[in-house]
Structure 1
Amino acid sequence: MFGKDMMEKLQKMQAQAEVSKQKLDEILVTGEAGGNLVVVEMNGNRKLTNLSINTALDQMDKEDLEDLLTVALNRAMDAANEANEKEMANSAKGIIPGL
């Protein structure tokens, strides 16, 4: 069913995906909220690497903190998704025609 050429391409794609995953582990993106009161850091593989909450939040109520965390996490996730999509598109360019 698969020719030798197709198997070679699949193996190349698998190797390139692993290289891309390693690159994405090294890419760090951040999301912040409340003027840096809450800062979230993720890598390009969408893994949370750091969460920073400024001590100025001591006076803030639970709902406000939850809102800031939600905004910061969503911003970091959006940035991680964008980095991930770019890396995957770049890795596929040489393997899949038309990309």
Structure 2
Amino acid sequence: MFDKLMAAQQKADEIKKRLDTISVYGEVEGGAIRITATANKAITAIEINEDFFKQADREEIEELLLTAVNKALAQADQVSATEMQSATKDMLGGLGGLFGQ
């Protein structure tokens, strides 16, 4: 049983490392602002279209930045949940022998 727990911890660590390599994006106003993040919710880039930046006011930029960041983080949540579901399914399949299945 201890081996199964260690394997589960190792699998969780592998998933975390894999999520660090997956990029997700949040984009608003047709690409005027684009946020890049990892699936582990680390923001890696913020791009603001120069033309948009010149014509927008501070309040608009701040509001759209929040929206883009939240979109990127929501996408990160989806990717993370999918990866965890897949790993859980694999682990539970491996535990089936413990329950006579």
Q: TM range, normalised to the smaller chain?
A: 0.7 to 0.9
1:85 aligns with 2:77: no
How large is the RMSD of aligned CA atoms in angstroms?
1.4
- Structure 1 Cα separation of the partners of residues 67 and 91 of structure 2: 37
> 3-state DSSP class of the match of 2:68?
helix
Matched residue, 2:16:
21
Structure 1 residue runs of 4 or more that deviate by more than 3 Å after TM superposition: none
Q: Percent identity?
A: 32
1:51 aligns with 2:41: no
| TM-score of the two chains, using structure 1 as the length reference | 0.87
- Structure 1 Cα separation of the partners of residues 35 and 70 of structure 2: 9
1:37 aligns with 2:32: yes
Say which of 52, 59, 62 aligns to 2:58: 62
> 3-state DSSP class of the match of 2:92?
coil
| TM-score of the two chains, using structure 2 as the length reference | 0.86
Identify unmatched segments of 5+ residues in structure 1.
none
Matched residue, 1:71:
67
> 3-state DSSP class of the match of 1:50?
strand
> 3-state DSSP class of the match of 2:47?
strand
